Amino acid sequence: MNSEWRGKHMEAGRGLGVIAAFAAAVFVWVTLLISETPPPALREFAGIYANPCCGSFTIGNGRLSTGAEVVPVETGFDKNGVFIIPEKYFGVIDGTRIEIAGGYPMKLYVNRKSNPMTIEVSDTSAGATYEFARAAKTTRVR
């Protein structure tokens, strides 16, 4: 009887192990699926953003513009949050002006996923970050 009892409980233990492994696999799959949701549409970020230090820039129609300079942008997100990334370097220069240059693109983090009110722009020359506040919503960019 002892070996019969042990055999039945070992089969039950294997069955529970299979169920636990399946449940863990489903949990991992669902977690990965949820974390891979697409970033918000770029139209959520359309508007004019300004900071007294350096001026303003506009986001709209898939582009970021400042003065006569225009560069395409995309949205994304990582462990630090939602961001906009231009095709070229966009940043503050010497704490006095903003510039689009041919350098490595930097992520511009927004304060919230939907209807953001601020965007952080780095000044790599000074090691600082500036917060540009949304001045107005717009959908028209030249």
Q: Which two tokens stand for residue 42?
A: 């770029």
Average pLDDT over residues 20-42: 63
Average pLDDT over residues 74-78: 90
Q: How many CA atoms lie within 13 A of 96 on its CB side?
A: 1
On the question of pLDDT at 54 being above 70, the answer is: yes
The answer for residues whose C-beta is within 8 angstroms of residue 99's C-beta and 6 or more apart is 66, 69, 89, 90, 91, 92, 93
**In angstroms, how far is CA 89 from the centroid of its own chain?**
17
Q: What percent of the chain has pLDDT over 90?
A: 39
pTM above 0.85, yes or no: no
Determine how β-strand 81-86 pairs with β-strand 69-78: antiparallel
Q: Mind listing the pLDDT tens digit for each residue in 106-142?
A: 999 998 877 789 999 998 888 899 999 998 654 444 4
Question: Of residues 67 and 35, which shows the higher confidence score?
Answer: 67
HEC secondary structure over 93-141 = ECCCEEEEECCCCCCEEECCCCCCCEEEEEECCCCEEEEEEEEECCCCC
> 87 and 72 in contact (C-beta within 8 Å)?
yes
Helix or strand holding residue 6 (H, E): helix 2-35
| Residue 141: per-residue pLDDT | 43
Mean pLDDT of the residues in the chain? 80
| Residue 68: per-residue pLDDT | 84
Average pLDDT over residues 17-23: 65
| Residue 140: per-residue pLDDT | 45
Give, in degrees to the nearest 5, the angle at Cα 76 between 73 and 78: 140
Q: Mind listing the pLDDT tens digit for each residue in 34-53?
A: 555 677 788 889 999 999 99
On the question of pLDDT at 1 being above 50, the answer is: yes
| Residue 86: per-residue pLDDT | 95
